[in-house]
Amino acid sequence: MNAFRRDFLKLAGSGLVGAATTAVITPGASAEKKSSMTRTKAENAFSVKTFGALGDGKTIDTPSVNRAIEAASAAGGGIVRFPAGVYACYSIHLKSNVALYLEDGATILAASVPPEGTTSGGYDAAEPNAPWEHYQDYGHNHWHNSLIWGENIHNVAILGSGLIWGKGLSRGVGREKPRADAPGVGNKAIALKNCYNVIFRDFSILQGGHFGIWAAGVDNLTIDNLKIDTNRDGMDIDCCRNVRISNCSVNSPWDDGICPKSSYALGYARATENVTITNCYVTGAYELGTMLDGTWKRLPANTRVPRTGRIKCGTESNGGFKNITISNCVFDGCRGFALESVDGALLEDITFTGITMRDCTNTPMFLRLGSRMRGPAGVPVGTLKRIIISNVVSYNSASQFTGGGIISGIPGHPIEDVKINDVYVHYRGNPESESIKGTPPEDEQKYPEPRMFGPLPAQGFFVRHVKNIEFTNVEVACDEPDSRPVFWLNDVDEADFFRIKSPKKQKLSIFNLQSVQDFRVSASRGVKDTEREKTDQEEL
């Protein structure tokens, strides 16, 4: 098989459309056709070294890389190749109909920021985004101050088994060095705005800055078989439609792993919708870089690292989340799954199924409808409804809040239509459970995290301001004695429990009911079949 045909088949197998206009020679092709093929190959495969890149890890290769991309774009599309080497770069500009191909041994290295006082060099300046900037954090408001970025482009891809190393990128503002808002500083590995038909496949990201990937307003986005080992967010999918994330591994101890968002960064509210996340591994348990190099060094137990590393919809939640399915994923040594609508978003029609979770650092499942309302004035409180959580195993959770889940709306705005079935949750227990009493604060406008309510009066599931919830085939297990009820319900209308198993050998109440209507439990151990049309205060 000749080299051209092999390269073509690689791209065809990746599903890339429009990256290269190539032809496949059939046996017995005429000399004229072979000559035509040779010209096509030369016109549509562009090596950055041909345009002057050295790949020595020291020379700034950005001008050569951008010239290669410009040439491919001018030719109507093509493949920009990075042969083995280390290409120190500042901002690389993606173009329509162009694919970057990182060959084995190729690294795009985010170069160090020029010294203070330098008048040239460094990453592209952060473009203005007024008047929307105060509705989300700094990193969400700018795209150009990135290692690789594209705006208003289509039919673009980054492929190959090489590495993107954000060594010179900032992790954010505040005390971070270098500060993301300083001149010449970049703070994202890859940033896209208002694009369509995008494919990221097979490469790795090490130390990706504030975001390894930030895609905002991107439609028809495929992210497949990436390995991301980073010190902030792995990938943020913001205001995007028709997204497929599959077969990815993300180690992100300091922030979220895979994070759909719907911010106001585009200047209007746009939903993230029609998203599948499948066959992925997320963790916050390992030292930076050790997932990629295969040493898998766990963070020491006494290090002050949040071990976030999870899948989360939110926190930015202006436009909404619709039609999202998360399946066949593994959570390891990280925070639990989170669904959060706190800025007016409609968060609807979500499934979370076929999940294993081990050593969660906080509550395995967190559903929060709040009213932070960081966005334009006058927007009503959002919704959180039609959620199915099924076939989930969570083992050895270290949560000091609840071992299963927190499902909490706010007064007058309940979470609605939730089904939780075939779920097993095991946690270590809370030695201070005897002292946990009373009703937690509402904190309607607070940043949403399981810790926001402080100690909770439930060891299994805390359920407040909810309408129509069902638990079927759910077991809660605990290592250490815990005196709290397994389920704590407040302001709940329509609650069904069927075949519930509670921690064994513990004398405790299974249910604490406060202002609950239309309650029913049946075929459950430790509690008799019971129905209540209405109860103000009762323990079962």
Report the alpha-carbon distance of residue 516 to residue 498 in Å, rounded: 17
Token duo for residue 302: 């006494």
Report the alpha-carbon distance of residue 143 to residue 43 in Å, rounded: 30
Beta-bridge mates of residue 352: 326, 389
- pLDDT at 505 (0 to 100): 64
> Cβ of 501: how many Cβ atoms within 10 Å?
16
DSSP three-state, residue 525? coil
Backbone angles phi, psi at 69, to 5 degrees: -65, -40
- pLDDT at 25 (0 to 100): 32
Per-residue pLDDT of the chain (540 residues; tens, 9 = 90+): 444 334 434 554 444 433 333 333 334 445 444 444 343 444 458 999 999 999 999 999 999 999 999 999 999 999 999 999 999 999 999 999 999 999 999 999 999 998 776 666 899 999 999 999 999 999 999 999 999 999 999 999 999 999 999 999 999 887 777 889 988 999 999 999 999 999 999 999 999 999 999 999 999 999 999 999 999 999 999 999 999 999 999 999 999 999 999 999 999 999 999 999 999 999 999 999 999 999 999 999 888 999 999 999 999 999 999 999 999 999 999 999 999 999 999 999 999 999 999 999 999 999 999 999 999 999 999 999 999 999 999 999 999 889 999 999 999 999 999 999 999 999 998 767 766 778 999 999 999 999 999 889 999 999 999 999 999 999 999 988 888 899 999 999 999 999 999 987 666 789 999 999 999 999 999 899 999 999 999 999
Beta-bridge mates of residue 64: none
- pLDDT at 186 (0 to 100): 96
DSSP 134: G
CA-nearest of 403, 376, 381 to 485 is 403
DSSP 42: H
Exposure string of 176-204, with b = 16+ CB inside 10 Å and e = fewer, is: bebbbbbbbbbbbbbbbbbbbbbbbbbbb
The DSSP code sequence of 5-40 is HHHHHHHHHHT--SS----PPPTT--HHHHHHHHHH
CA-nearest of 404, 434, 435 to 420 is 404
The DSSP code sequence of 261-314 is EB-STTSS---EEEEEEES-EEES-B-TTTTTTT--PBPPTTS-------BEE-
pTM equals 0.92
DSSP 52: T
Backbone angles phi, psi at 376, to 5 degrees: -60, 145
- Whether the CB-CB separation of 335 and 362 falls below 8 Å is answered with yes
- pLDDT at 250 (0 to 100): 98
**Torsion angle of C-alpha atoms 32, 35, 36, 39, degrees rounded to 10:** -160
